[in-house]
Structure 1
Amino acid sequence: MGVDVHESCDRVLAFAFEEAARRGCALRAVHGWKMPPAYTYVPFFDPDDERDIGRGMTHMVDDMLLPWRHKFPDVDVSPGVFTGSAGDHLVRASRGAGLVVVGRRLRRSPLGTHLGSVAHAVLHHAAAPVAVVAHG
């Protein structure tokens, strides 16, 4: 499943954990992140900054998963926090998966795309069935 630490993912998490429990399988929570664009212009970039941000993202994903681990103690869940495109990482993780779960934001506008780049990439390139769950 794809998780976004910047959005409420409760519906995505509920669906993914319920499916994993029903199927009796493990769950992998994937979060991709990128360094802020300003870092490309910093002449004295410190690689420790990237490691610190990565550790912070990992803690945020762990915190997000904690209540769901308590609610579904029989589901073995492992977080995967990666630098780079979340869509690319989810497509790679789809190989060998029984189902890929991604979220999408609710849009009120009738114009424009209603899928984000991550859901779009996963729908078009995943090697497993995909469930798209609307965020609250």
Structure 2
Amino acid sequence: MVKLASARESRLYGPHPVRNRWEYINAGIHVFAAALLFAGFSAQLPGRGDNVAGLVLILVASTLFAVVNAHDLVAHMAGIDYSLSLVAYDLQLAFVELAVPFLQMLGSILTFTAILFVLIQVHPYVN
């Protein structure tokens, strides 16, 4: 899970209790998506019954990961008032706060696309 204490403290969601609640929701969705991803890949092991259900679980988990990382990216950008010119002054901001959520989101989207193509090839009724 890509979370840093500095990123959590700098987000601007509103009053302090609201900020913590959204952080817990974000972390909970991330843990739930990881559990779905584990279940989906476990369903793909040899000797298991339905491979399509496992692929669908992986699709759902990839979608949740993309949403959580998009939320993190927007929250980090809100923390700097969407001023990307500040990236030139702080490499941690560029690499950790912005690049990591973006690349995680991009990887989730690519995984979703790849698994969707596999699902279309495996199951004749999907297309």
Q: TM-score range by the shorter chain?
A: 0.3 to 0.5
Q: Which has the higher helix share?
A: 2
Structure with larger RCO (C-alpha < 8 A, sep 6+): 1
> What is the TM-score when the length of structure 1 is the normalising length?
0.32
Looking at secondary structure, tell me which structure has more strand per residue. 1
